[in-house]
Every structure is written in structure tokens, then in C-alpha cells.
Amino acid sequence: MKRIGAELALFLHDVRLRWIGAVLVLLLAVAGLGAWRDAVRYGAEVDAVTAAERARWLGQDAKNPHSADHFGIWVFKPSSPLAVLDPGSEPYTGRMVRVEAHVFNDAVYRAVQDAGPLARAGLGSVADIVGLVVPLAAILLGFSAFAADRERGTLRLALGNGIAPGRLFADRFAALTAALVLVIGLPLLGIGTLVALGRDAAGWQDTAGWQAWPRLLAWIAAQLAYAALFLLVAMLVSLRARTARHALAAALAIWVGLCIVAPRLATAAVETLVPAVSYREVRARIDAEMRPHRTAEANDDRSREILARYGVSQPQELPIDLRGLMMVENDDHHFALYDREFGAFFDGIAGRERVFAWAGLLSPRIALQALSQTLAGTDFAEHAHFVWTAEAYRRSISERMNTEIRDRPQHGGTTLVAGPELWGEIPPFAHTPLPLTRALADAAVPALVLALWLAGLVGLCVPLVRRLKP
Amino acid sequence: MSAARFPRLLAAELRLILRERLTWAILVALVASLCFAAWTGADRVAAARTALAAAVADSERAVRDAKAAHLRYGRPAAIKVNYWQDPTDAFGYRTYFMAAYAVKPPTPLAILAAGQSDVQPAVTKVDFGFSTVFDDTATEIGSAAALRLGPFDLAFVLIVLVPLAIIALAGTRLSSEHDSGILRMIAAQPTGPRRVAGAKFAAAALVAVTATLGGTSLALVLSGGLGDFAGWSWTAALLAAALAAYVVFWVAACALAASLWRGAVGALAGLVLAWACLTVALPTALGLAVDVLSPIPSRIAAIDASRQAQARFYAGDEARRVTAAWLSTKLPEDVRRPELADVPELKRLARDAHYDQALADHHRAARAQALAASAWSRRLALISPATALTLALETASGTDAGRHAVFLTEAVAYRRSLRAFFEPRILAQAVTPAPVCAGCPARLDFDAYDAVPAFAPADARAAADRQAFLTLACLGAAALLLTALAARRLKQWPA
């Protein structure tokens, strides 16, 4: 511990650490506070419009239940508290859905659509900064750990004093890790605490179910593990490099390879190896299948079939409302179609996301991205969960409105009119996030991949440290 | 040293640089990256063309189906055809059957940059429903992980990897010689530092420019993803010149780093940090500046406004009143009848007009913001060489945000033109219903399927030329500035 303290004291006096720390804290603070401000604004707007929508739904005039179903309601995706740190898939997926009769509407208005064209440069969020800049910081801190001493000749002195190479390596690694915790871990913890406490205090969105604190701690641990991984890379290179220049050049080349090139190569590779049906094709297939179902002839056939089923020849003789029953059965047909097509589509994307987690074997940045967004509750699984929750809500409204029409047959050309009692039967939309246990299960693969990277690097350390030459 | 000896010095440096194994490793990796990026780009362009072809096929299918229905329902039959099932009716066809698309076809240079194409689809179906509030809701849901990491396209290789290759190639020239002491021997020769540095960095520039332009051309040819070049050769030439200026800019940056005489470690660290600043940090800062300069209007406020309008329309007798008011602007007084305000089709047209009016301010603000954001981006992009070249490549590819903002405006105009086409026909049918054959189940008042206006996409070439020229001017100026700074500092050998 004493030696670690001494090494840490040396690093703390290093102007490099101060500069790197200052830049990192500044970047993290700007990105974190900017995201927090946006999240507070979005949350407040969502709360206000959700209340207004509920009031509009309940305050509808008396009308036919099917008209109320068409009037519909907008529902909004609640954001995870940790979206401030890692927005994950949220900017790329819609967060607002209009639920209405017949239609499985898309979640619309993706933040990335509204963002300017320059906003996708790469440092848009705290998670982006950790993914891209923190490895650079770790490299700049660690590249000279042994190479500079070797170049100066002081490594020979240190080893000559009887310090075991393994101990020297461990002490320096521990000291540098402590320095990284100081300049990365503490700012992340600060922003995370601010977000979690701020949300609880403001109460602008229900935080129940997110389990923000365990998520935050696990998330920070993942980021620190990632930083430590690149510190190990830099120190390993430093163990072998003849000069600090060589060490820096090699470490920077590795950074470029792992953080810049490999992630994009992985994108191309995954898209090639795991081809996905385009959303446009899925929509086209659904339209094509619905078209013959919607024709007047098909409608006529179905109504005749219902009359035959009940053994009557006229709709007025039915114990139920023909139009209502046809709407129920029509929706059942649509639901089955949506379940099949969108179910397969969303499963396909989820499968791709899982492959991306394994693609972390190409680059720890990919593994961290998958792990980080899963722990933050902003991954695609959470989005798909919201989409299907909204769809389930839509179906519950349609089913209630249709059964009201079906079970109250009208005769003599009159139209059923319902009022506030029926509207009030529809509960407000409630979205509960996926449980933490599910997130942890989904995080298993990227966490394993990140652990493999760390284990691999530690495994490399052993022979290299043993063969350390002054 | 006489001027005549400079070419010999340059030739010697060229020989030296081409003899290094590292040079060839870098060049091979660069050309391989370019070829791979061009291949992914060709795939993307092919997918875009497929989407366009599917849109065309769907439009034709809709017309075919409607014509078949016209024939089918033109005979007496004992079925009931509701208005939402009737493509022989102007309102029914427009609202439930027509497949009209606004499309943004790929330019001949679309292979160069994915740009915003992965989040802003090039095909949008024009419909007259009210499920959405804005017109930019066309979406192509894909892997968020892939979208976050970004595509491996030519723009990525040219803008991000080429500078790194140049830094690897030329970043430690002179400074490594300074570190190893060879510089003292060079300084002992009767040559000035400018000439030595000039020869070293000119050789590096020649190799880098040749590899980048040659590699890009080779990749484009091999991928087969270039479209018909007619009229776009000038744009391509401007882009090639801008790319060469970008390469020279980075070589000049290497020269400037060397001229600081901080050693190879300092030069390399400084260059990589400069690269990170120019390609990652500065664009992010510029993105934030664009957000501040053109604040995004609230989507949620627009949704709220749309719902208020919808709730108002359906409250009490408001729908009838709004429809009557709308009819008074559309029909001469002598043909207006009170019962027309109860015709569902006319109520729907009046409702759409009512919603449009209620959302007009929000639509205007959204369009103005999109145009302002793209205009500010165009201006601010010129501050960083990386963003300047990115925007030039995206504009030439037709995948830039500016083109999309214009496209959305055109799509709105197209929707208006479709409304102008159908409205008089729907009104005429309501006022004076067309006689239908006895026993025929459908309305049979519309058969002008082939006369429905088609979307005419705007030409993206002028914008591409302008952006490429501006980028060339800026990058040329930046390269000259850095060269001049380096030359000034290289007046003397280091002490």
C-alpha cells in the first residue's frame, strides 16, 4: 500500500493527470448536465401532456365507442433515469405513440431526427465520452509507465533495487487505476447521484421500477472496468516498447483500431452476417395481407359466415351486434398478423443486438456499449417492451369499445352512443420498465465479453512482466 | 543549395518513404479500407434503389387494383361497398387506396456517404390520415447498436482514417530524426531546414494524395456502385480536389508539429489530439452550437395542439359548423346546401383543413428549424476541415440533412397538390352525384387514376457543387495557412 501511495503521489504531481482530469471532468459535466436539462424538460412536458390526454379521453362527448376508439390517445415512453448518462437506443427510437383503432402505429419522433447533422460526431453523451475519450486518457496516462523509465535508464535502477517486476507492475497499475477512479469514477458518480436524487426530488416522472441506484453502481463499475482495460493495454505496450515514442505510437494505434475502426467494421460485419428484413418490407407485407381482408367482397363473406354461424338470415335476428362482432373478429385477425410480422421483426432486431454484444470480442467499446445501455435501461429490449406495452394498451381499448358495440345490438338503424362511464373504464396508460433481473440477464453476454478482454490482458501481463527487461 | 536540387531531394525522400515497410502496410490497409467502405456503400445504394423501386411498384399496383375494382363494381352486384372500400370514388381512392410516394432518389455519388440516410428515409408515403402530427414520421427501424456505432462508409474512411494514416506516415518525420540525433548530421549539410522539411513532407503528401485519390477511384470502380455520372463530373472533380486539399492539410499539420521540435512523442501525441479535436470534439461542439442557434421546437407541444384541435372538432356541433364554414370557402353560394355539412367525406376534408390550420404555426416552426439547422450546419461545418469535407461528401451523396429538409418541404407541397387534385372531384361528387348504373354496388365517380400527380424530386446537383466548391476553398486555405506556419517556423534548425 505504501508503494502504491508513493506511485499515486507521483502521478498526482504529474501535469498530464491534471490536464487529462480537467478535460475529462469538463466534458463529462457538459454532456451530463446538458442531457439532464433535456431529460427534465422532456419529463415535464410528458407529464403535462399525459395529464391533458387523459382529461381529453375522459372528457369526450357521448359518441359511438368506435369513434372514441378512433379518437385514441397519445402515450409516451418514460425515460430511464440513467438515460442522462447513456441514452442508448433512445435517440434512435421513437418515444411517442398514438394508440387508435385498427392501426399499430410506429413510435415516432426520434431525437436523432431533430438533432442537427453535426450532432452525430461521436461525443453526444456521457457514455460516448467514456467509450471514446476515456481509453485515450488511460493510454496517455499509462503509455510511459515503463517505456519512459527504460529510456531514461531508471527502470534498470528500480529493478536493481530488488523490486520484483510483478510487484512494480501491480503497484503502478493500482496507482494509475486509482487516478482513473478519481478523474472518471467520481464525476460519473456525481452526475449519476445528481440525476437519481434530482428525479426523486422533482418527482416529474415515476421512478419506481427503475431501481436507479443498483443500476448506477453497476454502470459505473462497468465504465471503470473499461477504463482499466485500456490502462492495461497502455502498460502492456509500455512493458515491451523500447522508447516512450514507440509505446505511445503503438498504444494510439491500438486505440484507433479498437475504438474507431473495429466498431464500424463490426457494424458492417453484423449487417452482412445477420441480414435483417427491412421495416419497410414488413409494413408492405402486412398491407398486402390486409388488403384482400378489407375488400367489400371479403366483408360480405364474413358477415354471411356470421349469420350462418348463428343460424339466422338477417342481422336483426342476431343476439349480438353484427358490426361489433365483425370489428372484434377483424381486430383479432389484425392482432394475429401484427404479432406474427412485428413479433418476428422485433425478434430479428433483438437477435442482431445480441450478436452485437458478441461482436464485443472485436472491440471492448462494442461490449461496453451493449453492457452500458442494458444497465442504464436504454437498450432496444426496453424500447420493444414499451412498443408492445403501448400495443397491448391499444388492444385493450379496442377490445373494450368493440365488445360494448357487440354486446349492445342496436336495431332500426340507430347507432350506439356511449358516455363517460365507458371512457372511465379505460385505465391510464402505465408502463413498468423491464425488471433489473432481466437487464442483468441481458447484460451477461457483454459483461462476459468485457471480462474476457480483461482476463486476456491480465493473462498477457504475466509472461511480459516476467520477461521485463530494463 | 540551388533550387534545381530540390527535385533530387524530393526524389530521394520519395524513394526513402516508398522503401519503408510501414508505408506499404499503411497504404495497403488504407486501400483495403476504401474498397470495403465502397462495397458497403454500394450495398446501401442498392437498398435505397430497391426501396424506390418498391414504391413505384406499389403505386402501380394501387392503380391496377383500382382499375380492376372499377371494372368489377361497374356491373350490378348484391354486395355493399362502404366508402372506405371503394376505389371508384374520388374520396375512397385518395384516402384508402392510393399509394403516392415522395421519394429522394440516390445521386450518382450516393456511394460516398451514408450521411443521415440511416435515420431519414428516402421514401415517404403521402397519406391523408391523422395518426401523425408532422410529415417526417417515415421511419426505418433498425439496430440501434449499428446506428450508434455508425456505418463503415467512404466518408468515414476518408475523413477519419485518412488523417490517421497520414499521421502514421508523416507524423514523426523530422522529429524522430531530431530525437535520434540524425538531425544534427542533416543540419551540417548545406541545406536549409525548409528545403529538407519541404522535400520530406512533399514526398509524404505525394504518396498520401496518390494513395487516397487512387485508392478511392479504385474502390469506386471495383464496387460498381457509382450511378450514371452525366452532369456530375464537375462535382466529382471538385470533391477530388477538396480531398487532395484535406490530405495536404494533414501533411501540413504534421510539418507544423515537427516544426515545434518537441520530439516524436510530442509530435505524435499533439497530432492525434489535434485529430481527435478536429474530427470528434469540434464537430460535437459545432453540433451543440447548431442546437443553440436553431432551437428545436417541442414535438410534444405540437401533439398537444393537434389533440386540442381534434377534441374541439368533435365537441358538440363544432364539426358541422367547421364543415359549413369550410364549404363556404370552397363552393359558390348557389350550390351550397345545409345537408352538405353532414356528408362524411366533406366533414373529413373540412376536418383535415381545420387540423392543418391549428398546426400551421407548429409546422412552420418545424420546417423553419430544419432549414435553419441545415443552414447553420453548412456555415459552421466550414470551421473544421473534417466537418467541411463530411458535409461536401454528404451533399454530393444526397444524404445530407439540408436535402432532407428540402425534401420534406417538397413532400408537403406534393401532399397539397394531391389535395388540390382530389378536392374539386370530391366536392363535385357531393354536390352533383354522378349517375351510377342500376344495381352497381360502388360509386364509380372516379377513374382518373393515371392523371394523379406524381412526385418530382428536386435536383441535388447545384447544392452539391456549391458545397464542394466552398469546402475546396476552405480546405485549400487551411492547408496553405498550416504550410505557411510550418514554413515560418522551419526558418532555422533547432538549437
Distance (Å) of CA A157 to CA A8, A163, A433, B361: 20, 10, 58, 75
Tell whether the model's pLDDT for residue A10 goes beyond 80.
no
Q: Where are the domains of chain A?
A: 2-466
Is A121 close to B387, i.e. CB distance below 8 A? yes
Minimum CA–CA partner of B314 in chain A: A61
Structure confidence at residue A122 (pLDDT)? 66
Structure confidence at residue B176 (pLDDT)? 84
Structure confidence at residue B178 (pLDDT)? 84
For the ranges A6-10, A127-131, B17-21, B58-62, the lowest mean pLDDT is seen at: A6-10
B362-397: per-residue pLDDT in tens?
Answer: 999 988 888 888 889 889 999 999 999 999 999 999
Structure confidence at residue A206 (pLDDT)? 52
Tell whether the model's pLDDT for residue A208 goes beyond 70.
no
Distance (Å) of CA A254 to CA A135, A257, A258, A417: 10, 5, 6, 70
* Closest chain A C-alpha to B283 CA, distance in angstroms: 6
Question: Residue A358: which pLDDT band, with cuts at 50, 70 and 90?
Answer: very high
Cα radius of gyration rounded to whole Å, chain B: 31
Structure confidence at residue A339 (pLDDT)? 97
Cα separation, B405 vs B121, in Å, equals 12
Contacts 24+ apart (CB under 8 A), A461-465: A461/A169, A461/A232, A461/A235, A461/A236, A461/A239, A464/A236, A464/A239, A464/A240, A465/A165, A465/A166, A465/A169, A465/A239
Minimum CA–CA partner of B154 in chain A: A264
pTM for this predicted structure: 0.91
Mutation target for B interface from A280, A286, A366: give the one with most B CBs within 10 A: A280
Distance (Å) of CA A399 to CA A9, A306, A381, B169: 69, 19, 26, 68
Minimum CA–CA partner of A141 in chain B: B269
A341-355: per-residue pLDDT in tens?
Answer: 999 999 999 999 999
Interface contact A40, partner B, CB < 8 A = no
Cα separation, A225 vs A135, in Å, equals 11
A75-121: per-residue pLDDT in tens?
Answer: 999 889 999 999 999 999 989 999 999 999 988 888 888 777 777 76
For range A256-269, the mean pLDDT: 93
Structure confidence at residue A200 (pLDDT)? 58
Interface contact A469, partner B, CB < 8 A = no
B424-472: per-residue pLDDT in tens?
Answer: 999 999 998 887 888 899 999 999 999 999 999 988 999 999 999 999 9
Question: Residue B336: which pLDDT band, with cuts at 50, 70 and 90?
Answer: confident
Determine the distance from the C-alpha atom of residue B297 to the mean position of all C-alpha atoms in its chain, rounded to a whole number.
Answer: 21
| DSSP per residue, A387-398 | HHHHHHHHHHHH
How would you class B326 by CB atoms within 10 Å of its CB: exposed for 0-12, middle for 13-18, buried for 19 or more?
buried
Interface contact A89, partner B, CB < 8 A = yes
Is B143 close to A46, i.e. CB distance below 8 A? no
- Closest to B287 (Cβ–Cβ): which among A56, A121, A132? A121
Interface contact A295, partner B, CB < 8 A = yes
Is B141 close to A122, i.e. CB distance below 8 A? no
Residue B466 is given by DSSP the state: H
Please state, as a whole number, how many other Cβ atoms lie within 10 Å of the Cβ of residue A162: 7
Interface contact A249, partner B, CB < 8 A = yes
State whether residue A125 is helix, strand or coil.
Answer: coil
Residues 6+ apart with CB under 8 A from A432: A209, A389
Is B307 close to A284, i.e. CB distance below 8 A? no
Residues 6+ apart with CB under 8 A from A329: A302, A306
- Looking from the CA of A137 toward its CB, the CA atoms found within 13 Å total 28
Give the residue with greater pLDDT, A301 vs A16.
A301
* Closest chain A C-alpha to B7 CA, distance in angstroms: 31
For range A5-30, the mean pLDDT: 83
Interface contact A301, partner B, CB < 8 A = no
Determine the distance from the C-alpha atom of residue B131 to the mean position of all C-alpha atoms in its chain, rounded to a whole number.
Answer: 26
A410-441: per-residue pLDDT in tens?
Answer: 877 788 999 999 999 999 999 999 999 999 99
Residues 6+ apart with CB under 8 A from B447: B67, B70, B88
Distance (Å) of CA B174 to CA A151, A248, A251, B171, B267: 20, 17, 21, 9, 10
Handedness of CA B327, B329, B331, B333 (dihedral sign): positive
* Closest chain A C-alpha to B52 CA, distance in angstroms: 11
* Closest chain B C-alpha to A407 CA, distance in angstroms: 23
Distance (Å) of CA A242 to CA A111, A249, B220, B307: 48, 12, 41, 69
Average pLDDT, chain B: 91
Give the percent of chain A with pLDDT over 70. 97
Q: Considering only residues 375 to 394 of chain A, which have any Cβ-Cβ distance to chain B shorter than 8 Å?
A: 379-380, 383
Nearest to B27 by CA among B155, B169, B152, B218: B169
For range B161-170, the mean pLDDT: 94
Q: Are B336 and B104 in contact (CB under 8 A)?
A: no
Nearest to A146 by CA among A25, A238, A233, A224: A238
Q: Considering only residues 69 to 88 of chain B, which have any Cβ-Cβ distance to chain A shorter than 8 Å?
A: 79-82, 84-86
Structure confidence at residue A207 (pLDDT)? 53
Angle at B59 between CA B54 and CA B62, to 5 degrees: 120
Show the cell assigned to B25: 502496410
Cα separation, B296 vs A186, in Å, equals 32
B70-129: per-residue pLDDT in tens?
Answer: 999 999 988 889 988 999 999 999 999 999 999 999 999 999 999 989 888 899 999 886
Interface contact B141, partner A, CB < 8 A = yes
Interface contact B315, partner A, CB < 8 A = yes
Residue A63 is given by DSSP the state: B
Give the orientation angle of helix B193-223 with respect to helix B21-73, to 10 degrees. Answer: 30
For residue A381, the surrounding DSSP H or E stretch is helix A380-407
Strand pairing class (B100-103; A96-99): unpaired
Question: Residue B1: which pLDDT band, with cuts at 50, 70 and 90?
Answer: very low
Structure confidence at residue A421 (pLDDT)? 95
The C-alpha cell 427491412 sits at A278
B260-283: per-residue pLDDT in tens?
Answer: 988 887 888 889 889 988 998 888
- Closest to B280 (Cβ–Cβ): which among A60, A119, A122? A122
Show the cell assigned to A159: 529493478
Residues 6+ apart with CB under 8 A from A359: A266, A269, A270, A366
Structure confidence at residue A243 (pLDDT)? 84
Structure confidence at residue B185 (pLDDT)? 81
Q: Are B82 and B435 in contact (CB under 8 A)?
A: no
Cα radius of gyration rounded to whole Å, chain A: 29
Strand partners, B100: B126
Average pLDDT, chain A: 90
Strand partners, A108: A96
Residues 6+ apart with CB under 8 A from A120: A112, B150, B287
Mutation target for B interface from A93, A126, A264: give the one with most B CBs within 10 A: A264
Q: Which residues of A touch B279 (CB under 8 A)?
A: 121
Residues 6+ apart with CB under 8 A from A353: A370, A379, A380, A381, B143, B144, B145
Structure confidence at residue B309 (pLDDT)? 93
Minimum CA–CA partner of A92 in chain B: B144
Tell whether the model's pLDDT for residue B219 goes beyond 50.
yes
Show the cell assigned to B113: 456517404
Structure confidence at residue B288 (pLDDT)? 86
For the ranges A250-254, A375-379, A397-401, the lowest mean pLDDT is seen at: A250-254
For the ranges B58-62, B229-233, B302-306, the lowest mean pLDDT is seen at: B229-233
Give the residue with greater pLDDT, B226 vs B165.
B165
Question: Residue A287: which pLDDT band, with cuts at 50, 70 and 90?
Answer: very high
Interface contact B276, partner A, CB < 8 A = yes
Angle at B261 between CA B255 and CA B266, to 5 degrees: 85
Please state, as a whole number, how many other Cβ atoms lie within 10 Å of the Cβ of residue A183: 22
Q: Are A366 and A452 in contact (CB under 8 A)?
A: no
B339-355: per-residue pLDDT in tens?
Answer: 899 998 999 999 999 99
Give the residue with greater pLDDT, A399 vs B139.
A399
Please state, as a whole number, how many other Cβ atoms lie within 10 Å of the Cβ of residue B94: 24
- The pair phi, psi for residue A97, each rounded to 5°, is -130, 135
In chain B, what are the helix, strand and coil shares in percent, each to the nearest 5? Answer: 70, 0, 25
Interface contact A49, partner B, CB < 8 A = yes
Cα separation, B227 vs B221, in Å, equals 11
Q: Are B385 and B278 in contact (CB under 8 A)?
A: yes
Residues 6+ apart with CB under 8 A from B20: none
- Looking from the CA of A151 toward its CB, the CA atoms found within 13 Å total 18
Give the residue with greater pLDDT, A308 vs B230.
A308
Structure confidence at residue A204 (pLDDT)? 46
Tell whether the model's pLDDT for residue A146 goes beyond 90.
no
State whether residue B52 is helix, strand or coil.
Answer: helix
Question: Residue A306: which pLDDT band, with cuts at 50, 70 and 90?
Answer: very high
